């Protein structure tokens, strides 16, 4: 198993990435392809204990900045670590690709360098949602698809269920449709049209509508919504961590809103695992992302999604 990492992505690259790789090797044993500027990475290597023969440094002379325009950057910097990562992934030289760099470039790369899973209308990104009782759920889409069709939400429910089951370990995940009322027939046109599709979908465990007040309690394991709504919820939830931190409100509950702890988010619905990390990711987050990539490859989550979407 070969996992590629962008060594130039994120606010603390490459040092924290190296720290994360080192941490990963305390237990893991995938081969790690470290993609980035040789002259930056090589001098640092002797500070870290990386096992002999398990890492490969792939030189990528260019770097895509956090604030560059994604499409333009990918086009103008074909030798960047992100472009190189996608090339290696597309050709099968690596089995998964991880980056905490330019999110837009990672999304564009995922959508255009890789094939979507056959039958998938639109790939999607999700976030872990912390529950009041300490359990975690999944919310999707969180920004890749700002306008959605009912059929897309129906597929998000399927892909989210596979992910929740295989990766989060939730048996028969409860799927909720985010809405502004409990009964069928409530909500905007999208929610009204999505409800019957979810209701008739035999591949998911649909429990009905979920309101705003239910997001943070343990009512559903997979919550589906359009990417506009989902992104606003995600960023609002993230802001709770910063606000409580600034106000010196110390309680373990708010640590659950430190989304850095969750590592990164995979792009679901494409043929190979791509994991996008927060810009502020540190060692632990990078280790978690490598573990996640390994799990996704091990369980062949992409293949399972394909089977569920097609069936």
Which positions touch a second copy (CB under 8 A)?
132, 143, 146-147, 178, 180, 187-189, 191, 211-217, 226-229, 231-240, 242-244, 246-247, 249, 251, 253
User: Taking the complex as a whole, how short is the minimal distance between the CB of residue 309 and a second copy, in angstroms?
Assistant: 24
Instruction: Report, in this order, helix, strand and coil percent for the chain, each rounded to 5.
Output: 45, 20, 40
Residue 22 or 192 having the CB closest to a second copy? 192
Angle between helix 81-91 and helix 103-113 axes, rounded to 10 deg? 30
Nearer to a second copy, 60 or 223 (CB): 223
Phi and psi angles of residue 4, each rounded to the nearest 5 degrees, phi first: -95, 140
- DSSP-derived letter for residue 181 is S
Q: How far is the CB of 113 from a second copy (least distance, A)?
A: 23
Q: Give the shortest CB-188-to-a second copy separation in angstroms.
A: 4
When the beta carbons of 29 and 242 are compared against a second copy, the nearer one is: 242
CB neighbour list of residue 290: distance below 8 Å, 6 or more residues apart:
3, 5, 20, 21, 24, 28, 30, 32, 98
Q: Which residue, 45 or 249, has its beta carbon nearer to a second copy? A: 249
Residue 278 C-beta: closest distance to a second copy, Å: 13
Whichever of 91 and 133 has its CB closer to a second copy, that residue is 133
Nearest approach, Cβ of residue 184 and a second copy (Å): 15
**Cβ 284 to a second copy, closest distance in Å?**
23
- How far is Cα 289 from Cα 41, in angstroms, rounded to an integer? 20
The SS3 assignment for 277 reads: strand
User: In sequence order, which ranges of 95-213 are alpha helices (DSSP H)?
Assistant: 103-113, 150-166, 189-200
CB of 132 closer than 8 Å to CB of 257 = no
Rounded Cα gap, residues 191 and 153, in angstroms: 9
Enclosing H/E stretch for 207: strand 205-210
What's the CA gap between 116 and 294, in Å, rounded? 20
Decide: 98 and 277 in contact? Cβ < 8 Å: yes
Give the span between the Cα atoms of 264 and 134, in whole angstroms: 19
Cβ proximity to a second copy: between 27 and 251 the closer is: 251
Minimum distance of a second copy from residue 130's CB (angstroms) = 11
Q: CB nearer to a second copy: give 130 or 263.
A: 130
Choose between 141 and 308: whose C-beta lies nearer to a second copy: 141
CB of 276 to a second copy, least distance (A): 16
């Amino acid at each position: 198993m070969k996992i590629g990492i962008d060594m130039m992505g994120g606010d603390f690259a490459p040092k924290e990435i190296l720290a994360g790789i080192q941490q990963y090797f305390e237990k893991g044993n995938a081969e790690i392809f470290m993609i980035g500027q040789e002259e930056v990475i090589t001098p640092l290597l002797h500070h870290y204990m990386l096992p002999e023969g398990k890492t490969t440094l792939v030189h990528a002379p260019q770097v895509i900045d956090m604030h560059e325009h994604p499409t333009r950057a990918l086009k103008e910097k074909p030798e960047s670590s992100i472009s190189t990562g996608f090339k290696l992934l597309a050709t099968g030289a690596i089995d998964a690709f991880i980056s905490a760099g330019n999110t837009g470039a990672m999304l564009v790369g995922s959508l255009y360098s890789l094939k979507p899973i056959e039958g998938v209308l639109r790939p999607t990104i999700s976030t872990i949602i912390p529950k009041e009782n300490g359990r975690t759920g999944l919310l999707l889409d969180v920004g890749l698809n700002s306008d959605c069709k009912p059929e897309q939400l129906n597929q998000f429910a399927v892909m989210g269920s596979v992910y929740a089951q295989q990766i989060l370990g939730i048996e028969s995940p409860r799927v909720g449709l985010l809405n502004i009322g409990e009964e069928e027939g409530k909500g905007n046109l999208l929610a009204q049209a999505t409800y019957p599709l979810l209701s008739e979908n035999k591949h998911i465990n649909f429990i009905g509508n979920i309101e705003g007040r239910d997001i943070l309690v343990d009512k559903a394991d997979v919550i589906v919504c359009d990417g506009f709504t989902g992104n606003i919820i995600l960023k609002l939830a993230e802001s709770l961590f910063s606000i409580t931190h600034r106000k010196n409100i110390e309680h373990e509950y708010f640590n659950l809103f430190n989304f850095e702890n969750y590592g990164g988010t995979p792009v679901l619905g494409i043929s190979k695992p791509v994991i996008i990390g927060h810009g502020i990711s540190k060692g632990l987050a990078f280790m978690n992302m490598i573990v996640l990539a390994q799990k996704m490859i091990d369980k062949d989550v992409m293949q399972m999604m394909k089977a569920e979407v097609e069936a």
